[in-house]
A and B are shown apart, each in its own frame.
Chain A
Amino acid sequence: MADDELPITSLVMAAAQGNEAAWSEIVERYSPLLVSVLRQCQLTPVEIDDVAQTVWLRLVEHLTKLREARALPMWIITTGRREAWRHAAIGRRYQLRDPEAGDWAHGPADQADPDEELLRAERQHALLAGLAELGRRDRQLLLLLMDDPPMRYAEISRRTGIPVGGIGPTRARALDKLRRSPAIRAVLASESDCPEPMAQAEG
């Protein structure tokens, strides 16, 4: 079924041919990952807007060069970090940045332990990259279930076409696909070798 196919490859190919709907879906799916990367680089919301714009403009010209759509999340992470760093360096250089202005997405103060913060960011990126790759129906269902305040099952059913009784099982299958996405498998593999660095989670 089309719903279950990995949509990213066809989205990238269609966008490279100028299909605007495919492009919009790519930016909808991957903006959370890009914003998460830029926030980790401690940009303000306004800076994130500017830097994200450059990243997307770059991607427009690189769509045809992405040999594999699977390379897209890594491309976004790498390009996002590099452009964030460039932006910070430009700011330092011309002293446009006003430390008094506040508005920091992540102040230095809330970084307790840099290692832990890094690990946390990697896990977040993996979750968001995994979500971006899910099939349309799975992704839509998870997004609706995450709505705050919670959406009623009847309404979710109306929007997705999934019977109320099928929402639970479909959620479980969607989460399983998420768990098996390359980004999350990579995190799980890297962390199964080493114990949790800080406080043990209580059972």
Chain B
Amino acid sequence: VSGVNAHRWNDDDILFADLAEALGDVAPLAARVAAHAHGALAWRTVDSDLVLASLSFDSLLERSGNTRDGEGDDRVLVFHAAPLAVEVEVQTDRIVGQIVPPSEGEITLETVDGTRVQVDADDLGFFILPRPAASAARMRCETLTTRLVTDWFQL
């Protein structure tokens, strides 16, 4: 089979064969991925007052791919939910962040493994979290005026 030929998809048998090939290529992995995803809905946020802060900047996606990063050049992530943003720098063993505009608050880091760590942000909005071992995490941030949860991000 030389591959998928869209211009011949008017023929039922060719369309079917191409579909079977496309699915066959991914079926075992897809079954595993789906099985692992069934529980994900449990992470759904039901609290309607909670604002979702989307990942609006990731320094990983801004640089050219092949530069070898030096020290002091840690990955920077910004999560935005107007009027607030949470900026973090992911370092080797910790995550250093700030609430912007600067504000006192409480930050909770939760991982897909179920671990939770809570720390205070000082009056300038600064906070430090231990870097978790999990592959994905998100943060909750609570200030006097706003409560937000960030997008999930890979670590």
A53 touches B112 (CB 8 A): yes
B33 touches A178 (CB 8 A): no
B12-52 interface with A by 8 A CB criterion: 12, 15-16, 18-20, 22-27, 29-34, 36-38, 40-41, 43-46, 52
A93 in contact with B69 given A20-B41, A86-B61, A179-B15 (CB within 8 Å): yes
A48 touches B135 (CB 8 A): no
A150 nearest CB across to chain B (Å) = 11
B153 touches A54 (CB 8 A): yes
Chain A's interface size range is 35 or more
B31 nearest CB across to chain A (Å) = 7
B33 touches A52 (CB 8 A): yes
A127 in contact with B40 given A86-B154, A90-B155, A184-B9 (CB within 8 Å): no
Provide the bound-state CA to CA distance between A18 and B45, in Å. 10
B6 within 8 A of A: yes
A57 touches B152 (CB 8 A): yes
Report A-chain residues with C-beta under 8 Å of the C-beta of B147.
none
Which stretch in A1-9, A26-34, A155-163 binds the other chain?
A26-34
With both beta carbons as reference points, the residue of chain B lying nearest to A196 in the complex is identified as B7
With both beta carbons as reference points, the residue of chain B lying nearest to A34 in the complex is identified as B33
Provide the bound-state CA to CA distance between A172 and B10, in Å. 11
Interface size on B, residues (CB 8 A): 54
Report A-chain residues with C-beta under 8 Å of the C-beta of B27.
32
B97-120 toward A: CB 8 Å interface, digit per residue (1/0)? 000000000000000100000000
A31 touches B7 (CB 8 A): no
A56 in contact with B37 given A31-B30, A50-B154 (CB within 8 Å): yes
Provide the bound-state CA to CA distance between A82 and B6, in Å. 26
B3 within 8 A of A: yes
A89 nearest CB across to chain B (Å) = 4
A60 within 8 A of B: yes
A73-109 toward B: CB 8 Å interface, digit per residue (1/0)? 0000000001101111110110000000000010000
A167 within 8 A of B: no
Report A-chain residues with C-beta under 8 Å of the C-beta of B135.
50, 53-54
Report A-chain residues with C-beta under 8 Å of the C-beta of B22.
32, 36, 123-124, 127-128
B52 nearest CB across to chain A (Å) = 6
Report A-chain residues with C-beta under 8 Å of the C-beta of B138.
57
B148 nearest CB across to chain A (Å) = 12
B136 within 8 A of A: yes
Q: Give which listed residue, B24, B38, B60, contacts A86 with CB less than 8 A.
A: B60
B151 within 8 A of A: yes
A60 in contact with B43 given A52-B33, A93-B60 (CB within 8 Å): yes
Chain B positions within 8 Å of A, measured between CB atoms, are 2-10, 12, 15-16, 18-20, 22-27, 29-34, 36-38, 40-41, 43-46, 52, 58, 60-61, 65-66, 69, 75, 112, 135-136, 138, 149, 151-155
Can you list 8 contacts pairing A with B, beta carbon distance less than 8 Å?
A15-B41, A39-B29, A48-B33, A49-B33, A54-B136, A120-B3, A123-B6, A143-B23
